[in-house]
Amino acid sequence: MMGAWGHLSFTAPLALLALALLPVIWWVLRAMPPPPRRAVFPPLRLLAGLQSTAQTPDATPLWLRLLRLLIVAAGVSALAGPVWSPKGVQTDNAGPLILIVDDGWASAPLWATLQTSGARMLASAGGRADGAAVIFSARPEQSQTRFSSPAAARRILRSHNVAPFAPTRKEVLAHIAALVKQSGDTSPRIIWLCDGIDHGGAADFMKALAGYGDVRLVLPQGEQSALLMQAPKASTSGLEVTLLRTPSPAARPVQVVALDKDGGIIYAQEANFAPGKTSARITMVLPLALRNRMVLLTTATAQSAGSTWVFDGRWARPLVGLIAPRSGGDSQPLLSGLFYLEKALSPHAQVVRAPLADLLQRQPAVLVLTDAARPPPAQWQDLVDFVEQGGLLIRFAGPHLAANNDTLLPVKLRRGGRLLDGSFGWDTPQGLADFAPHSPFYGLRRSDNINVRREVLALPQSAAPERVWARLDDGTPLVSSARMGKGRIVLFHVTASPDWSDLPLAGLFSTMLERVLIFAPGQAARADDDRAQNWQLIQKLDAKGRVRKPDGAPVSLPGATDLDKLTASAATPPGLYTRGARSGALNIGAGQKALLALPPPPMGMRVQTNMGAAPAALAGPLAVLAFVLFITDTLLSLWFAGLLRWSGFGRRFGAGLLFLPALVLVFGTPSPGQADEAEAARALALQRAGVTRFGYILSGDGRVDRMSKAGLFGLSQTLRARTTVEPEEPVALDPERDDFAVFSLIYWPILNDPDLSPKAIETISRYLKNGGMLVIDTQDAGLRATIVGGVDPALKAVFAQIDLPRLRPIPADHVLTRSYYLLRSFPGRTVQARVWVESAGRGASLDGVSGVIVGANDWAAAWAVDKEGNPLAALSDDMRNQREMARRFGVNLVMYALTGNYKADQVHVPAILKRLGTP
């Protein structure tokens, strides 16, 4: 039963009956005065004689009685669960509530909002056992099939996850029909928490929905609405990425980020939706090497499965086969064309040099054929097949080609070629002409000092302008290209070695080849397509646009499926699939032309855009009010009893009370602008930079954080007492907002999978890159790692997000064992867990000093002391002087952080002594 009272309603109205007790309480309070104030009075003996004076007790002051009644009233009202419903939300209809929730990919950016507003709406549905039902549009099978109590429905909504595919609203109608039938006479209220996108057939759905009468549609606000990423297109200038949104009059900047397979951000660029425009296009100009590392393209804000593109094998670094001459060993390897090609291609592609037969088995995307490496006629047909089935063949001219034409050419060649600087010719060596706009080389800077001395000449009638990609100054083609079958042939009219021209010596050569490689086909285009095998899902894309290992039953699709034409659904989840050696991605945005907004709602359907102003539960504020009043009453009682004097403590406390409203104001007002924050952060960093300090990363667990602080405090005390390092108070760090750069050592307790934002990851990665030292401590003596077998799951999650160098168990002669004390083990609260450091050889920039030290011995607990220097935690006592040894390790750690490999020389002390010689 749900009591309603205008805008105010109660979830447990019976509790209000307790208010009837208020007069009784009034009477009791009247009879019970507050305890007297105590006063010490030395001449008590003199007072004793006065006791006959009348003892009329002070009645409880009126205002105090009113205060206490208010406390009781507020408490009782809070228990009754009042809900304040602003305009329109509360309907007069008392029927059960059917809540339709869009849980498709488009809901991912606003899922938290959807959940809270849904929960609030359910809260306003009262406490009836059959008061509400939740229906999910993307996963209708998880909907409630009969009405339950709103609390149960709320639990279902809370535990529900967004689906990484679009909702199928048609199925929802059947559920609603079933529910309506159940509700009998009373017509149910229907609220639709919508993602604002027409996923197909929305108009019909809405029409059908409006037939049920009392229907309300709740739309997301513009900033929350989802984005859709279309299939990126590789162009000559870069990667073209198009984002779609539903129509909106506001401009909206969106950060597009490219991630590598470890989740590291390798590139970011901002796309801007102009006001009123529904699409935003950017061209990501990034080197092929970076492009090849890219596995995921997503948006930093409003991230969802739809705004994410998973790259499959088609986008990978192409395998380029350099066909080696049959004759075997090169007599002059440095003058061979293959040498120049290998150098020029290796930044952009995986290059393999082998005879043709071996190469074809590896299924390269590109074959490079130099003049000297012409295959025997028997293999010629293989080469033709390769091109016809979609391969890219890059050819270079040479004496053989000049003498004999063959079939695999984009243009017909004049026999004999052309000698430009011969002793008997009038021609002079020619330079390059500007690249034509249709050429993939367009935009490249041609260099003036490239001279072409000899070339093969194309027959003018065969060299159509679109086939010519580069010309010499006099207009003769230098690079020509033509399609053949599914593939393409590109011919450089000069040799790959500098014999005929300076081109192979120029940097331009490598850039030109990179542009040519864009035409390299993906694996899909090539042969050896085993359609008998099934597609297996190996990485699934979740609704939030993150790539995860698939859980649950393995997903496999028929091998004949064309993933590009498939729409993501529950049976065909988006993600990365493999079929044999090939991989294919199923993306939400594949083949999507536009992101359609919901059509205007039919008559009779009420629309509400603001999800936030859903009914507000007043129980919390009322309970807080009752509590604050109770505290006030307690303080007043203390004051009456004389325990709280206005002097001294009382005055300070009173001042604190006065500050309370100020505090409320401070926390109530919005935080200052970002510019101020950045300014403040910079000032703080400057202030912190002046002295040596240690930081610890907040774990979110108060106990752990206190221990981290006490541990670093203890370590600092130890250092002050024993060394010349005099650190100041340790500082708590939040990777979200703090600058790590000024800390020489940061302690990071990782107890459970920390949820790191891209910004936090950026901060930590940059700290490591700039030579910081991160001491990671799982504080469980390696237990979790042992249980799971392998790496601690929490660490695994962290390592997956942060680009950490390779780690290895600490070697016995590591600098850490001798940077201050000579140590053999690295104990903390526990002793046995292994310590891992970076394996050496990370590059000269960090001088071989490990930036990461990973352990599980709970070092902070062993170092932790209170303000008076007493240890705070009991140790496992597995070794003698364990605490002392832990402190020594701490000192060594700091010395290592501060002096690096300075003491590494000691490793060689025996050898040095020996060399110095004993006289």
Partner 1 sequence: MSSFVPSREHHDAQVLASRFGPLLAEAKRHAATLMHGVHGRRKSGTGETFWQFRHARTEDAYAAIDWRRSARSDDLFVRETEWEAAQGVWLWRDGRAGMAWHAHAGLPDKKDRASVLLTALAIALIKGGERVGCVGEMPRPVSGSGALDRLAISLIDGPGRAEDFQAWGPIGRPKLVIASDFYEGPDVWAARLYPIRDKGIDAVLLKIHDPAEAQFPYKGRTLFCAPDDSEGAVLFGRAQSVAADYQRVFAEFNVAMEDMARALGWPLIRHDTAKAPAPALLALHRAIGGGGR
Residue 865 Cβ vs partner 1, minimum distance, rounded to whole Å: 11
User: With contact defined as beta carbons under 8 Å apart, do 549 and 420 qualify?
Assistant: no
Residues in contact with partner 1, shown as a per-residue x/- string from 89 to 128 under the rule CB under 8 A: ----------------------------------------
Minimum distance from CB of 300 to partner 1 (Å)? 40
Strand pairing partners for 268? Answer: 257
> 94 with 186: CB under 8 angstroms?
yes
Among 47, 624, 874, 909, indicate the residue that binds partner 1 (CB under 8 A).
47
Please identify which residue in 696, 713, 767, 896 interacts with partner 1, judged by CB under 8 A. Answer: 713
Q: Cβ closer to partner 1: 181 or 867?
A: 867
Rounded least distance, CB 729 to partner 1, Å: 6
**Which position among 20, 31, 50, 378 is part of the footprint of partner 1 (CB under 8 A)?**
50
Minimum distance, C-beta of residue 716 to partner 1, in the bound complex (Å): 5
Regarding 55 and contact with partner 1 (CB under 8 A), the answer is yes
Among 612, 642, 700, 811, binds partner 1 (CB under 8 A): 642
How many residues line the site for partner 1 (CB under 8 A)? Answer: 39
Q: With contact defined as beta carbons under 8 Å apart, do 729 and 712 qualify? A: no
* Choice between 630 and 639, CB closer to partner 1: 639
Tokens found for residue 363: 């299924």
Q: Tell me if residue 440 falls in helix, strand or coil.
A: coil
As measured in angstroms, the least distance from the Cβ of 889 to partner 1 is 20
Minimum distance, C-beta of residue 635 to partner 1, in the bound complex (Å): 17
Task: Give the per-residue contact string, 661-700, with partner 1 (x = CB under 8 A; - = no).
Answer: ----------------------------------------
Strands, E assignment, 220-260: 228-229, 233-234, 239-244, 252-260
Interface with partner 1 in residues 722-761 (CB under 8 A) = 726-729
CB nearer to partner 1: pick between 233 and 720? 720
Nearest to 875 by CA among 888, 854, 860: 860
Candidate segments 153-161, 278-286, 427-435, 715-723, binder of partner 1 by CB under 8 A: 715-723
The amino acid occupying position 321 is G
> Residue 59 CB, nearest distance to partner 1 (Å)?
10
Q: Find where tokens 């325990």 sit.
A: 643
Q: Within its chain, how far is the Cα of 310 from the centroid?
A: 14
Distance from C-alpha of 114 to C-alpha of 609, rounded to nearest angstrom? 12
Q: C-beta of 642: minimal distance to partner 1 in Å?
A: 8
- Pairwise CA distance, residues 889 & 826, whole Å: 6
Phi, psi of 280 (to 5 degrees): -135, 130
To partner 1, the closest distance from the beta carbon of 44 in angstroms equals 5
Contact 860, 872 (CB under 8 A): no
Does position 56 interact with partner 1 (CB under 8 A)? The reply is: yes
Q: Which two tokens stand for residue 500?
A: 């005929």
Residue 340 or 640 with smaller CB distance to partner 1: 640
Minimum distance from CB of 57 to partner 1 (Å)? 5
Smallest distance from partner 1 to CB 875, Å: 23
43 binds partner 1 (CB under 8 A): yes
Contact 779, 711 (CB under 8 A): no
CB of 65 to partner 1, least distance (A): 15
- Rounded Cα gap, residues 427 and 425, in angstroms: 5
- What is the closest distance, in whole angstroms, from the C-beta atom of residue 705 to partner 1 in the complex? 18
In angstroms, the CA 714 to CA 869 distance is 7
List CB contacts of 593: < 8 A, sequence separation 6 or more: none
Structural tokens at position 861: 């607990």
Task: Please identify, using beta-carbon distances, which residue of 44 and 665 lies nearer to partner 1.
Answer: 44
Residue 46 makes contact with partner 1 by CB under 8 A: yes
- Nearest CB to partner 1, comparing residues 712 and 810: 712
For partner 1, the closer of residues 47 and 913 by Cβ is 47
53 binds partner 1 (CB under 8 A): yes
200 binds partner 1 (CB under 8 A): no
Tell me the CB-side half-sphere exposure of residue 365, using CA atoms within 13 A: 22
β partners of residue 540: 548, 575
* Site map (CB under 8 A) of partner 1, residues 601-640, x = contact: ---------------------------------------x
Minimum CB distance to partner 1 smaller for 131 or for 727: 727
Q: Which is nearer to partner 1, 253 or 642 (CB)?
A: 642
User: Does residue 44 interact with partner 1 by CB under 8 A?
Assistant: yes
User: Given the rule CB under 8 A, which of 245-253, 608-616, 618-626, 714-722 is the region that contacts partner 1?
Assistant: 714-722
Q: Which two tokens stand for residue 621?
A: 């504020």
Q: Which is nearer to partner 1, 549 or 867 (CB)?
A: 867
CB of 741 to partner 1, least distance (A): 22
- Kindly state the DSSP code that residue 108 receives in the 8-state scheme: G
Closest CB 693 distance from partner 1, rounded Å:
10
- As beta bridge partners, residue 484 has 487
CB-nearer residue toward partner 1: 24 or 655? 655
Selected from 49, 376, 552, 702, the binder of partner 1 by CB under 8 A is 49
How far is it, in rounded angstroms, from Cα 292 to Cα 269?
Answer: 17
Angle of CA points 428, 432, 436, to nearest 5°: 140
Q: How far apart are the first and last CA of the chain?
A: 102
Residues 22-41 binding partner 1 (CB under 8 A) are: 33-34, 36-41
Of residues 851 through 880, those in contact with partner 1 by CB under 8 A are 867-869
Neighbour-count burial for 733-759, b at 16+ CB within 10 Å, e otherwise: bebeebbbebbbbbbbbbbeebebebe
For 538, counting Cβ atoms within 10 Å of its Cβ (0-12 exposed, 13-18 middle, 19+ buried), the class is middle
Of the two residues 50 and 844, which places its CB atom closer to partner 1 in the complex? 50
From 115, 523, 716, 817, residue interacting with partner 1 (rule: CB under 8 A)? 716
* Among 57, 376, 670, 919, interactor with partner 1 by CB under 8 A: 57
In angstroms, what is the minimal distance from the CB of 829 to partner 1?
22
Rounded to whole angstroms, how far apart are CA atoms 509 and 512?
A: 5
Q: Residue 717 interacts with partner 1 (CB under 8 A)?
A: yes
CB atoms within 10 A of CB 222: 15
Q: CA–CA separation, 861 vs 864, rounded Å?
A: 5
Give the ranges where 467-582 is alpha helix by DSSP (H): 507-517
Calculate the alpha carbon distances from 403 to 420, 455, 457, 556 in Å. Answer: 17, 12, 12, 54
Kindly state the smallest distance separating residue 71's Cβ from partner 1, in Å: 22
- CB nearer to partner 1: give 56 or 461: 56
Rounded least distance, CB 873 to partner 1, Å: 19
Among 48, 571, 658, 911, binds partner 1 (CB under 8 A): 48
Q: Is 769 in the site for partner 1 (CB under 8 A)?
A: no
Q: Let me know: does 390 contact 525? Beta carbons within 8 Å.
A: yes
The residue range among 45-53, 385-393, 436-444, 463-471 that interacts with partner 1, by the rule CB under 8 A, is 45-53
For residue 240, the SS3 value is: strand
Q: Kindly list the distances between the CA atom of residue 224 and the CA atoms of 136, 614, 624, 756, 776, in Å, as whole numbers in the listed order.
A: 20, 17, 31, 21, 36
CA 80 to chain centre: 42
Measured CA to CA in angstroms, residue 862 lies from 260, 819, 865, 890, 893 at distances of 39, 20, 8, 10, 14
Q: Which residues bind partner 1 (CB under 8 A)?
A: 33-34, 36-51, 53-58, 640, 642, 647-648, 713, 716-717, 720, 726-729, 867-869
